[in-house]
Chains A and B, each alone.
Chain A
Amino acid sequence: MTESTNPRLSDGTLLSDLINLETREVKMRTLSDPELYELEMERIFAKTWVFLGHETEIPNKGDFVVRDMGSDSVLMARGSDDNIYVSLNVCPHRGMKISTHDVGNTPVHVCIYHGWAFKPNGDFIGAPVDKECMHGNLLTKEQLGLKKARVAIYGGLVFATWNIDGPSFDDFLGDAKWYFDTLWCRTNKGMEVLGPPQRFTIRANWKTACEQSASDGFHVLTLHRWLSEVGPYRKPGSEGGGGDLTPEMYGSEVYTAHAHTMRCIELDRKIRRLTGKEPSELSVKEKLEALPPPGITPAMLPEMMERFSEDQLKLMTWRPPQVGNFFPNGLFEFVYIPTPDGVIGVMALHAYVPKGPDKLEFVNWILAEKDTPPELKAQMLRLGVQLLGTSGMVEQDDSDTWPHQTLAAKGAVSKNITLKYQAMYENAKPEGWPGPGDVGDGFTKDDTQWRWWQYWHELMTAKN
């Protein structure tokens, strides 16, 4: 992207009036403006790689789910060749939605309006009354297929883009891949979803959820304070159950060129508590045995350890990524939760699907490694439902915040108030940091979210 433009909204406002790259401020108006929303759908969601789901949601030939890429509905289906295809869920004949179901299995998708038929891979099979040539004679059958997106499967996760000749998925992941491998590529068999995703609607702009998911740590101290009052981070014995989550916010934060970010939270305290020893005196193996990653049991460790470099294993036992995002609208949580039965991991992925300038759909998948023993899978799932998603005691506080930001973004005065991302790391990678990307060390800061807005700006101003 060498050339850029400066889009102008109909009231004359330039995009550059909305974001101040020097002072790291963004006008509130960005969180509700309908014109900006339309631009985002074209310049971001129709251009970047978008997370749609997991391959284990559609294990058999003909299986499909209906998902969204920005404002467009798509079919994510497994073809007769076992590959996964993503096609626009719109009949090229008269624009009817091809599938009105959420999930199913069929070798042929037939549009209920005029009966045009398509394969799971999007190819046009034919229209009724073939001999009368209902599909006309101006275009070939090859030209009448569903519009196909480019698909990338990574660690079982399904991503797609309409940018057919654009950057590769690996380019898009960039430096994040080194870290993401330690999350999604831990075992030979890989991960599976433990069921279909939860879905619910929030009357808020998609960016409220997404900029937060770019590793905002500060909100945890106030918005999720209950975690230390009665929740899993309660400090036994302290008055009022503690109430201070500050110690949980130390570690390192990673941010990459394409605004994938992660909060890498220190495990030392947990390991000290579990082993009674100083982490520096323990080997990587000993640390992994004391506190394996979510979903991994000691029996699964030898296989897992073979898959990673020494540097990656160092990260996994020191400051593993626990919360973060993939741009534009994905979030991951691979967290270690203290429970009376020991530390239990929860693994969840979210997509925050834009549904208009004032509305988003929260989609929550809960996952485990395929090899995780069923009892542990069940525990991980229950804990995930309890803390995250629709009824989750952590995330119900987030989802009630975002609508207020979106409403404030409409006020004649408040729309010009700026979101501020001025808490900056004044240091770089901590000594011995094994991974790539930009890294800040110490207490959580705003750099990760600011990177999110920088990339948003880059895409919004890119000349097509």
Chain B
Amino acid sequence: MLQELLEPTPLPPSVRKNRIAIGSEAYNEVLNFLYDEAEMLDNLRLGEWAELLTKDLEYNAPLRHTRSTAHFAQTYSRNVQHLHENYGSMMMRVKRITDTKSAWGEDPPSRVKRMVSNVRVYTTDKPNELKVDSYLLVTRSRFDFDYFDLIPCERHDILRREGDSLMLARREILLDQVVIGTPNLGIIL
């Protein structure tokens, strides 16, 4: 019962026969979405980014475990996660940064680059929804520190067409690190 309450809605599978051709109009539209999103987030245009979120948003980042090859599928935990958000809680995160003078964890803000690659787009059972898989490498520079925190991950998104635009309806972030190598996830992935 608790498990059911905590588990995010399962994402549709990424089936090769449902792939949308690289370079096609639909593919390019998705790519534009991901690039624009990265630009907004990198430049603290969080209010603008929030307008891309559907009201039934699910936004999750499971924990990882180091386990044997035989147990690779069990390396994810989706009960306690690093991020476990819905629209309301995500808006609170945005508001904390945009509407207060004391979001110190990101003030001064990190310099962040979200590098999106390996983008694959799939049709789903729902005509207005696309499944989008991508890799994301985030470089995060804090203060005058001469190192970067690296946050490599993959993202599994559902983009939904609402009117003329694509909206982010679901996102699952699979982080590579078991022990996250940055002092907080105060930035949006």
Where the two chains meet, the residues of A that have a C-beta atom closer than 8 Å to any C-beta of B are 100-104, 193-204, 222-226, 229-231, 361, 366, 374-375, 377-378, 381-382, 385-386, 389-393, 395-397, 399-404
The prevalent SS among residues of A at the interface is: mixed
Q: Do residues B186 and A391 form an inter-chain contact, with CB atoms below 8 A?
A: yes
Interface string of B57-76 (1 = CB under 8 A from A): 00001010111100100000
With A195-B63, A201-B181, A391-B186 as contacts: A222 and B2 at CB distance below 8 Å: no
Q: Kindly state the separation between the CA atoms of A278 and B41 in the bound complex, as whole angstroms.
A: 48
Given A194-B6, A400-B104, A400-B184; 7 other pairs, CB 8 A cutoff: A102-B65, A200-B179, A200-B184, A361-B179, A390-B184, A396-B105, A397-B105
Nearest residue, chain B, Cβ from A402: B183
Within B51-108, the residues touching A (CB, 8 Å) are 61, 63, 65-68, 71, 77, 79-85, 89, 92-93, 95-96, 99-106
The interface residues of chain B lying within 8 Å CB-to-CB of A195 are: 63, 77, 79-81
* A201 and B100 contact, CB distance less than 8 A: no
Residues of B within 8 A of A230 (CB): 92, 95-96, 99-100
> Would B96 and A391 count as touching, CB distance under 8 A?
no
Q: List 20 A-B contacts (CB under 8 A).
A: A101-B67, A102-B65, A103-B67, A193-B80, A194-B6, A199-B178, A199-B180, A201-B181, A226-B96, A229-B99, A229-B101, A374-B5, A378-B5, A382-B89, A385-B82, A391-B83, A393-B92, A393-B96, A399-B184, A403-B183
Q: Which 3 pairs, one residue from A and one from B, show the smallest C-beta to C-beta distance?
A: A195-B80, A396-B105, A396-B184
Residues A222 and B102 in contact in the complex (CB < 8 Å), given A197-B80, A198-B63, A198-B82 = yes
Check A194–B80 contact: CB distance below 8 A: yes
Q: How far is the CA of A385 from the CA of B1 in the complex (A)?
A: 19
Once bound together, how far apart are the Cα atoms of A226 and B103, in whole Å? 6
Once bound together, how far apart are the Cα atoms of A200 and B66, in whole Å? 14
Chain A residues contacting B183 (CB-CB under 8 Å) are 200-204, 396, 399-400, 402-403
Which B residues are CB-close (under 8 A) to A102? 65-67, 178
Report if B185 contacts A (CB, 8 A): yes
Residue of A nearest to B143 (CB): A404
Q: How far is the CB of B100 from chain A (nearest CB, A)?
A: 4
**Quick check: A200 and B102 within 8 Å, CB to CB?**
no
Complex CA–CA separation, A199 to B63 (angstroms): 9
Whether B96 pairs with A104 at a CB distance below 8 angstroms is: no
Decide if B19 is an interface residue (CB 8 Å cutoff).
no
Contacts of A386 in B (CB 8 A): 84-85, 89, 92
Which chain A residues border B80 with CB–CB below 8 Å?
Answer: 193-198, 366, 381, 385
Contacts of B83 in A (CB 8 A): 385, 390-391
The CA of A396 and the CA of B96, in the complex, are separated in Å by 12
Q: From residue A199, how far is it (CB to closest CB) to chain B in Å?
A: 4
- Collect the chain B residues with CB atoms within 8 Å of residue A104's CB: 67-68, 71
Task: Evaluate contact between A200 and B77: CB separation under 8 angstroms.
Answer: no
B5 touches A200 (CB 8 A): no
How far is A375 from B123 in the complex, measured between Cα atoms in Å?
34
CB distance from B144 to the nearest CB of A (A): 10
A393 touches B93 (CB 8 A): yes
Name, among A102, A222, A390, A402, the residue most crowded by chain B CB atoms within 10 Å (CB to CB). Answer: A390
In the bound assembly, the distance between CA atoms of A225 and B105 in angstroms comes to 12
Whether B79 and A390, one on each chain, are in contact in the complex, defined by CB atoms closer than 8 angstroms, is no
Verify A396–B95 contact, CB threshold 8 A: no
Q: Report A-chain residues with C-beta under 8 Å of the C-beta of B61.
A: 391
Cβ-defined partner of B6 (8 Å) among A193, A196, A222, A381: A381
Cα(A396)–Cα(B106), bound, Å: 8
A375 vs B79: C-alpha distance when bound (angstroms): 13
Interface flag for B32 (CB, 8 Å): no
* A226 near B186: Cβ-Cβ < 8 Å: no
* Distance of A115 Cα from B79 Cα, bound (Å): 35
Q: What is the distance, in angstroms, from B162's C-beta to the closest C-beta of chain A?
A: 25
